[in-house]
Amino acid sequence: MLQAVGMPDLDGLFSTIPDACKRTDTLDIPELTEWELNDHMAALAGQMVSSADYKMFAGAGSYQHYIPEVTRYLLSRSEFVTAYTPYQPEISQGTLQGIFEYQTLICRLLGMDVANASLYDGAMAVAEALLMAIRIGRRKKTVAVSSLVNPYYRKVVETYFAPTEFTITWLPYRKDGTTDLSGLDQIEGLAGVAVQSPNFFGCIEDLEAAGKAIHAQDAIFITCFSEPLAYGVLKAPGALDADIVCGEGQSLGIPQSFGGPGLGIFAAKQQYVRNLPGRLVGQTVDADGKRGFVLTLSTREQHIRREKATSNICSNQSLCAMAAGMYMAALGGTGFRELASLNHDKAEYLKAALQAAGLEVPFASATFNEFVVKFPEGFDQRWQDLLQKKILAGIPMVCYYPELANHYLLCVTETRSKDDMDALVKEVQS
């Protein structure tokens, strides 16, 4: 093989890599038996805060929800265990139909006309939505993003846009914990605006007012999210005239898995379908008039010229999309609403209990299942002490927003009991 590629030795294959980036010493890998290795891995895992052993009051884009056993079982069947959307419809009708049903359920949940077969994660979905807005806007080269979009999503957006000629404008937030859109009319060449709801503070944005303000500037209105369960009780973004709706679908039957894998949900109005990134499963009929499913509108660079492509996405999160479809189908519309209401009500119970204990909830806007609490000076040590007691009392906000020292983002899902919440309130009071 080396002769075929014209290399004298194996090192020649890596000659283009700078020496400073190469490892020259050998890896120090101990010789372990299989069971010794298992014990070693278990010890390493024991150093992690495991959601199974801890009372978790943390969300911030990754949420602990119960997964119906029927979802686990169906997803484990060999017919579905693939992360790839199949190219060959003649042998893949089951998987294609499953993804088509996922797309349909996502459209119903978000009130949109069309959804793709998923992207890698919510952060990528937001970045792709902004690029889509620029494609639609053509000569426009600026996008605006709320500073209350998940900080990790914003980092990915920055990475996407760094090598381009396009400009990102970050929108500030108001005292009530929602996005300040008052400066949109000062931005030239505005192609699109991304607003997250519920936002990173857990606050619910006024999407109807946001849509009117954004459309008044002839820009694309992008709504993103990290907790899709919220739309079990909130009005769908599509009903509020959102052009593109995207975000993270991990809450829909996918384990947290310490950060991965995720599910990038992406939906849009029908008029923008030809600008949609990623893959799309469509319904058709065969030569005999029987219903069938195929990949359609394939505008990725694998299919057409790169300069004409809507994205360079090679694959998607097919298995995660199947999980989300199974999860939504298992709950049904009524179950989805009841679960969303339970999340909201439990979070409101904890919020009221903490306020009764003398703590401040600084942002007045309505929330879904997470909210910001301001704790007394020096709470960081108390936070560490609670962690030793296997209670994760929220996420410190100061690392994302330096001006919010002593502020913590707390989350409550259906997995937290009243006893868990009462215990937290008691601990922070002591």
Please tell me whether residues 168 and 81 are part of one structural domain: yes
Q: Average pLDDT in the 303-316 region? A: 66
CATH number at residue 370: 3.90.1150.10
Of 182, 209, 183, residue with least CA distance to 197? 209
The two tokens of residue 427 are: 């601990």
pLDDT bucket at 358, cuts 50 / 70 / 90: very high
Give tens-digit pLDDT for 258-307.
777 899 999 999 999 989 988 889 999 988 999 999 888 775 555 566 66
Helix extents (H) in 177-317: 207-215
Interatomic CA distance for residues 351 and 374, integer angstroms: 11
Residue with tokens 């606050």: 203
The two tokens of residue 8 are: 């004298």
Q: Average pLDDT in the 309-330 region? A: 84
Please tell me whether residues 62 and 76 are part of one structural domain: no
Interatomic CA distance for residues 254 and 322, integer angstroms: 10
Provide the pLDDT for residue 258: 73
Give tens-digit pLDDT for 228-253.
999 999 999 999 999 999 999 999 99
Please tell me whether residues 416 and 350 are part of one structural domain: yes
Q: Of 261, 292, 327, which closes a domain?
A: 327
Please tell me whether residues 297 and 353 are part of one structural domain: no
Average pLDDT, rounded, for the chain: 92
Provide the pLDDT for residue 53: 82
Give tens-digit pLDDT for 392-424.
999 999 999 999 999 999 999 999 999 999 999
**Domain-embedded: residue 11:** no
Give tens-digit pLDDT for 44-96.
888 877 767 889 999 999 999 999 999 999 999 888 887 666 767 777 888 89
Interatomic CA distance for residues 66 and 370, integer angstroms: 17
Give tens-digit pLDDT for 4-53.
999 999 888 888 999 999 888 888 888 999 999 999 999 988 887 776 78
Give tens-digit pLDDT for 199-238.
999 999 999 999 999 999 999 999 999 999 999 999 999 9
Q: Of 265, 294, 327, which closes a domain?
A: 327
Provide the pLDDT for residue 317: 85
In 363-414 the beta strands, taken as DSSP E runs, fall at 370-374, 391-392, 395-396, 407-411
Please tell me whether residues 158 and 233 are part of one structural domain: yes
Q: How many independent structural domains does the chain possess?
A: 2
Q: Of 327, 350, 377, which closes a domain?
A: 327
Please tell me whether residues 195 and 290 are part of one structural domain: yes
Provide the pLDDT for residue 47: 82
Give tens-digit pLDDT for 154-187.
999 999 999 999 999 999 999 999 999 999 999 9
Q: Residue 335 gets which letter from DSSP?
A: H
Of 200, 142, 209, residue with least CA distance to 180? 209
Interatomic CA distance for residues 258 and 43, integer angstroms: 17
Of 390, 333, 330, 395, residue with least CA distance to 66? 330
Please tell me whether residues 133 and 216 are part of one structural domain: yes
Interatomic CA distance for residues 324 and 29, integer angstroms: 39
**Domain-embedded: residue 322:** yes
CATH number at residue 232: 3.40.640.10
Please tell me whether residues 145 and 172 are part of one structural domain: yes
Please tell me whether residues 228 and 316 are part of one structural domain: yes
Min mean pLDDT across 5-9, 17-21, 106-110, 312-316 is at 312-316
Interatomic CA distance for residues 18 and 394, integer angstroms: 43
Please tell me whether residues 153 and 293 are part of one structural domain: yes
Interatomic CA distance for residues 193 and 195, integer angstroms: 7
Please tell me whether residues 140 and 276 are part of one structural domain: yes
- Structural domain of 138: 69-327
For the chain, the C-alpha Rg in angstroms (whole number) is 24
pLDDT bucket at 429, cuts 50 / 70 / 90: confident
Partnered with residue 119 across adjacent β-strands are: 264
What are the C-alpha distances in Å from 250 to residues 77, 120, 166, 176?
Answer: 20, 11, 30, 28
Please tell me whether residues 370 and 271 are part of one structural domain: no
Give tens-digit pLDDT for 112-166.
999 999 999 999 999 999 999 999 998 999 999 999 999 999 999 999 999 999 9
